[in-house]
Amino acid sequence: MNVKPWEPLGDAMMDYYHGNMATTIYIKSSIEGDRVVSLEAFFRENENFPKIERYAFRYCNGKILDVGAGSGPHALYLQKERFDTTAIDISDKAVEVMQKRGLKKTFCIDIFEYDTETYDTILLMMNGIGVAGDLQGLARLLQHFKKLLNPGGQILFDSTDIGYVSSFDRAISSLRTPIPEYYGTAYYQLQYKGKTGDVYPWLFIDRKTLVNIATENGFNSQILKTYKNQFLASLTLR
């Protein structure tokens, strides 16, 4: 029987935190072959952040909400920089790890259900906007973020245009999922220590489509930085 999509990752994070530095998680994807990923990337420190993440920190301001914070690497850095930072994640074990690592303000909750406070910066790193799942989900997410933004606030995130995947032979994927309406919707499944999570969708959006959906939902969009197929974007209310 499958478990919730994020449960295997939460278990792996907890094991890594407790000293098993060799912890890896098995990932199936609709857009590439199966792969084994080290948990080290989820616990990186400031000096190991990718360029696009370090660049994003320049634009963080005011009161910050880190969405899908995982083990909390970005929130911990911002907290150390004396920002008022709240971190949320849907995985209870991920949140427990964040708390053990010293994060002061955390919530275990689905972002679509969170409406506790308002913020100046809503941060979604590591392709975190993907939590929307698909284009319809992104529109819904942007409407929800309107409730969480202070006047003049911003949504800050990175994403990747995966149009290049169309040149791959998708038969290499062991996942058998429907062909999505938009090429940027991928599907994933996580496995760890005998647990297999439910398949879940994850959105990768191209810049043009992002601008269109942002405009339709009342946001101005600005592309702050581009690295090959990856980009950093800021959305503000019009």
Q: What is the pLDDT of residues 56-111, one digit of tens each?
A: 999 999 999 999 999 999 999 999 999 999 999 999 999 999 999 999 999 999 99
Please report how the helices 7-17 and 92-100 are oriented relative to each other, as an axis angle in degrees rounded to 10: 20
Residue 96 lies in a domain: yes
Q: How far apart are CA 200 and CA 212, in angstroms?
A: 25
Residue 1 lies in a domain: no
Give the range of the structural domain holding residue 192, as residue numbers without chain letter: 7-237
Report CA torsion sign: 66, 70, 74, 78: positive
Residue 139 lies in a domain: yes
Please report how the helices 135-148 and 207-216 are oriented relative to each other, as an axis angle in degrees rounded to 10: 50
The CATH number for 164's domain is 3.40.50.150
Residue 2 lies in a domain: no
Q: How far apart are CA 1 and CA 230, in angstroms?
A: 36
User: Looking at the whole model, is its pTM more than 0.85?
Assistant: yes
Whether the Cβ atoms of residue 99 and residue 130 lie closer than 8 Å to each other: no
* Widest pairwise Cα distance in the chain: 48
Residue 192 lies in a domain: yes
Instruction: Count CB-CB contacts under 10 A for residue 4.
Output: 15
Query: Is the pLDDT score of 33 beyond 80?
Result: yes
Predicted pLDDT of residue 155: 98
Query: Is the pLDDT score of 172 beyond 80?
Result: no
Mean pLDDT of 115-126: 97
How many distinct structural domains can be found in the chain?
A: 1
Residue 69 lies in a domain: yes
Distances (CA, A) of 60 to 64, 69, 95, 122, 160: 7, 15, 22, 9, 20
> What confidence category does residue 179 fall into, taking pLDDT thresholds of 50, 70 and 90?
confident
Residue 21 lies in a domain: yes
Predicted pLDDT of residue 166: 58
Residue 16 lies in a domain: yes
